Amino acid sequence: MVHRTPSGDAWVVRHKGSPNAPDAEILLPPDLPLEAKAVAQLCDLAGVSHPDGGRACRACATPDFHPGDSGVAIGSVLETEDLLVPQAVGVDINCGMRLHTVDLTVDRFLSRKEKLLERLKGDYLLGTRDIVLSGAAMSGALTEGLPGFLQATRGQAMGALARADLGVIEDELARVHLGGALQGDLRWAPHALVGTDDVRDEGLATIGRGNHFAEVQVVEEVFDRSVAYRWGVTKGQVAIMIHSGSRNVGRYVGSQWEELARTRWPATSPYPKSRIFPISTRSQPELAAAYLRAEHTAANYGFLNRALLAELFRLRVSEVYGETAAPLLYDLPHNITLEENGRYVARKGACPAHDGQPVIIPGSMANGSYLCVGLGQDRMISSASHGAGRAIARGAMGRSIRDDAHREALGLSGVHCVTLHEERMVEEAPAAYKPIRPVIDAQIAAGVLRPVARLTPLVTFKA
């Protein structure tokens, strides 16, 4: 079943064979395509239930909606009662966005740009970052998030962190979603990260592949001067936007729990046709609690990863330009399960957009990103898109830039992308993505968010 809402701004979908499943609403402007595979995946997700109790209450999708490799569409939001769904988050746990404003004008940034980029390229792509944590600091981060990391690191910082101002990170915790602190459990962490020895983790403070990036931007346009002033955003200001997550820890936890949910499915019940295996909090309370702790362990790592990526940037900026303020505006996840209003909300490629909360929505390497304020729209389960959404799969983008005409066709003319692998730049070229403006406009019209500022890329780092 597929039909348009009376207002014409969304599609309503449901499997015909799932009469008890809630309708799922896809907020999608008329000029963006409705992809059949993504619709089928959302219908499967909305129909999830457990024979021992637990159900999907509501499901919706944001305008960057497109098929997901794991059987769950990107841009899906699922609200459940007595039910947890590991596949609804997947393996990229707490992939999210972090935005810092920087006390630099574009001219000043450009005056020493090459020196800064050389150092950042070393940190982000060549492994010259010197990030080492004590065993206590890593354990504190995994179990208690950023506060646990800071408490264990205070007075014992090593490597690059010995030069960082950890007090600034602590002061900024209020601008990290949920304070960057969830209840984790070392039992579910990779064994190599647990112990008393110092840890040099190859994944920590790294961007990751795919659509992840670190990007130097400029505030091109301000729409809401009052909110922008309150958040410290001004036109012409340089910013750093980071899109990364829990890296190998998320993959370790997510893949483990997708398999655990399958193996703990009741032996007397047939497998769900969708092959989406939920966990019932009624009949499997210990398993459900363990899953949340496991997911939150990886999520804590994701918060730390983004914070350290930003800290490397702040350290290098101060080295090159002198002491320079680069305060955090906000850090928020878009692949996570959270308890909200007495139910569980799983977001897969969708970010929280509660009333008054900053929302960060990236575009592409050539198109602007948007800083918005959430409006807590109940229709969309207080959720917004996490980007523009892919229009062309990575495998279909080709692997090399053949000539200037090809570069222009990919939307890469004028793009400054720092990467060690040209194929990454091609796979993530602007032509691979939907236009960002219709995605933003659809959410403005639906009362999901209000735009505060538009930021355009100056330099993008792709791993």
Tokens of 425: 């730049």
Predicted local distance difference test score (pLDDT) of residue 443? 98
Task: Give, in degrees to the nearest 5, the angle at Cα 101 between 97 and 102.
Answer: 135
pLDDT at 3: 80
Fold of 2-391+433-462: tRNA-splicing ligase RtcB (3.90.1860)
Please, are residues 437 and 32 in contact by the beta-carbon 8 Å criterion?
Answer: no
Per-domain residue ranges for the chain? 2-391+433-462
H-only helix segments in 183-284: 225-231, 247-263
For every one of its 463 residues, what pLDDT tens digit does the chain have, with 9 covering 90 and above? 788 887 888 889 998 777 788 999 999 988 888 999 999 999 999 999 999 999 999 999 999 999 998 899 999 999 999 999 999 999 999 999 999 999 999 999 999 999 999 999 999 999 999 999 999 999 999 999 999 999 999 989 999 999 999 999 999 999 999 999 999 999 999 999 999 999 999 999 999 999 999 999 999 999 999 999 999 999 999 999 999 999 999 999 999 999 999 999 999 999 999 999 999 999 999 999 999 999 999 999 999 999 999 999 999 999 999 999 999 999 999 999 999 999 999 999 999 999 999 999 999 999 899 999 999 999 999 999 999 999 998 888 887 788 888 899 999 999 999 999 999 999 999 999 999 999 999 999 999 999 999 999 999 999 9
Question: Which pLDDT belongs to residue 341?
Answer: 95
Q: Is the dihedral of CA 247, 249, 252, 255 positive or negative?
A: negative
Q: What distance lies between CA 348 and its chain's CA centroid?
A: 9
- Quick one: how many helices (H) and strands (E) in the chain? 12, 19
**Under a CB-based contact definition with an 8 Å cutoff, are residues 386 and 334 in contact?**
yes
Element (H, E) at 64: strand 55-66
* Nearest C-alpha neighbor of 2 from the set 55, 40, 30: 40
Residue 20's pLDDT is 83
Contacts of 411 (CB under 8 A, 6+ apart): 364, 365, 366, 429, 430, 431
Cα angle 8, 11, 15 (rounded to 5 degrees) comes to 150
Rg (CA), the chain: 21
Spell out the residues 6+ positions from residue 107 whose beta carbon is closer than 8 angstroms to its own.
none
* DSSP letter for each residue of 368-410: -EEEEEE---GGGTTEEESSS-BSS-GGGS-SS--SHHHHHHT
Q: What kind and span of H or E run contains 449? A: strand 449-462
pLDDT at 6: 77
The answer to whether the beta carbons of residues 329 and 213 sit under 8 Å apart is no
Q: Tokens 């499901």 belong to which residue? A: 59
Please measure the distance between the N-terminal and C-terminal CA atoms of the chain and give it in whole angstroms: 41
Please give the Cα distance from 412 to 427 (Å, whole number): 11
What is the residue-wise DSSP string for 173-209? GGGBGGGG-----GGGS-GGG-SSS-B--TTTT---S
* Alpha-carbon gap, residue 159 to 179, rounded angstroms: 25
Contact 454, 370 (CB under 8 A): yes
Q: What is the pTM of this model?
A: 0.97
Q: What is the pLDDT of residue 333?
A: 98
Three-class DSSP category at 293: helix
What are the tokens at 139? 């354990």
What span, in angstroms and rounded, lies between the C-alpha atoms of 361 and 369?
Answer: 6
